[in-house]
Amino acid sequence: MASADELTFHEFEEATNLLAETPDAATTSRSDQLTPQGHVAVAVGSGGSYGAEDEVEEESDKAALLQEKQQQQQPGFWTFSYYQSFFDVDTSQVLDRIKGSLLPRPGHNFVRHHLRNRPDLYGPFWICATLAFVLAVTGNLTLVLAQRRDPSIHYSPQFHKGISIYCYAWLVPLALWGFLRWRKGVQERMGPYTFLETVCIYGYSLFVFIPMVVLWLIPVPWLQWLFGALALGLSAAGLVFTLWPVVREDTRLVATVLLSVVVLLHALLAMGCKLYFFQSLPPENVAPPPQITSLPSNIALSPTLPQSLAPS
Amino acid sequence: MAEAEESPGDPGTASPRPLMRDLKAVGKKFMHVLYPRKSNTLLRDWDLWGPLILCVTLALMLQRDSADSEKDGGPQFAEVFVIVWFGAVTITLNSKLLGGNISFFQSLCVLGYCILPLTVAMLICRLVLLADPGPVNFMVRLFVVIVMFAWSIVASTAFLADSQPPNRRALAVYPVFLFYFVISWMILTFTPQ
């Protein structure tokens, strides 16, 4: 296993060097659905005959390598080791991928630079789990803080709502992957990402929402909207920068529509987090009406009211 | 898992010794959780009686009264049960997928037994809640739950961390942290009515 790793990295260095020399080049990935470890071949762009010989040599080398890899590891999807290959990550790799998703940069493609064609399922699964639980807990916490004023309010942490996070993080990549594969039939140049890579992109992009939700505990409405906008911006930027190389080969119309749909869905997720998970208090339970100004408890109460109750 | 055996001569009477033996084994494991040391007892002779007893106790104490309406109150008995067992199975699968060399039932056994400190915390919280509600009440409960949560984590990582290669230990331990955090949250936010 170690030697295959070394070989993979060597290839990738070549690829990045070639990319640096010819900025118009695009990378294609020959990863198949069943082999999560594909390899990268560099197809030099419309420059024509430049590097054609190099390309042929590289391709034959890489074809041999691919065959070897396929012979080595092709467990069926019913075996446990098939799924184990998706969890073949170390702590440092997961942290690196999280950092990569937090700081999206225009040139850096998340899939190429951080995933390096080895997508994992650990990140998406546990980031979704953390986000679901953090949402349930903070949504509950806003009620706990209000409950101290009025002990008759009950609440329960609503963990079953976490299923909606999982639905987003797995169904939307499925739709996106399906759409990209369909478009690939139209134009054959760019291979789209595999399903797992798409799931990874989405899963890691959800990480930035976790600190955002924790910061939403601060009961200042404009600050909450600010944090929401920041997190959404970072996350959507990461998605767009990663999807851009795949989508730019397509017609302009399809590209813009696709990217705007992706950003819109992400914005809906952020809004949904706010509205769906943060329960609003039943208004009749919050005791002192704001008109009675003689009560000193008003002044203590109003800053801690959850934002869903607008003080009239 | 040890089972009660019937001596061949008497139909229908199970001899009491195997039951006592099982109970003693469960009790011994409880002690191992309360004083976590590097011993293999929990791993070698795994059983699921202890986790079942603890889970049922916890779920019984956490469930809301049937008199409450649907919206208010705490989780149902079934919710707690599902969260505990589903969570434990997920963590075990995660640990095995990451390449750990612990068996499925051993991992379930460890995770289940390490709920013991949190069950003790639940008992203490219920007792504390019989007193007047107020900030002091809340602080006492918060302190107890935090201490027991830390105890659970320490106990379970003492058993589970060795089964992973060192570069993946944090990846295997983080879900355990999340699991006990969720249970601690349910305990902390419990209010009887």
- B76 — contact with chain A (CB < 8 Å)? no
> So what's the pLDDT on residue B180?
94
* Chain B positions in Cβ-Cβ contact with residue A129 (cut-off 8 Å): 175, 178
Lowest mean pLDDT among A171-175, A246-250, B39-43, B142-146: B39-43
- Two tokens, residue A82: 């098939």
Rg (alpha carbons) of chain A, rounded to whole number: 24
Tell me the domain boundaries of chain B: 44-61+75-189
- Alpha helices (runs of H) in chain A, residue ranges in sequence order: 2-21, 52-72, 80-84, 91-102, 110, 122-147, 163-186, 195-205, 209-215, 221-247, 252-272, 297-301
Q: Give the pTM.
A: 0.72
Examine the pLDDT at B178 and tell me if it is beyond 90: yes
Sequence-ordered list of residues with C-beta below 8 angstroms from that of B142, at least 6 positions apart, any chain? B188
> So what's the pLDDT on residue B102?
84
> So what's the pLDDT on residue B165?
83
Interface test with B, best of A82, A154, A281 (most B CBs within 10 A): A154
Examine the pLDDT at A172 and tell me if it is beyond 80: yes
> So what's the pLDDT on residue A153?
56
Residue B145: pLDDT band (50, 70, 90) is very high
Lowest mean pLDDT among B62-66, B71-75, B102-106: B71-75
Q: Give mean pLDDT, residues A54-74.
A: 55
> So what's the pLDDT on residue B89?
92
- Whether the CB-CB separation of A109 and A242 falls below 8 Å is answered with yes
Residue B152: pLDDT band (50, 70, 90) is very high
> Do A155 and B68 count as a contact with CB atoms less than 8 A apart?
no
- Two tokens, residue A77: 């999807």
The chain B residue lying nearest A82, using CA atoms, is B97
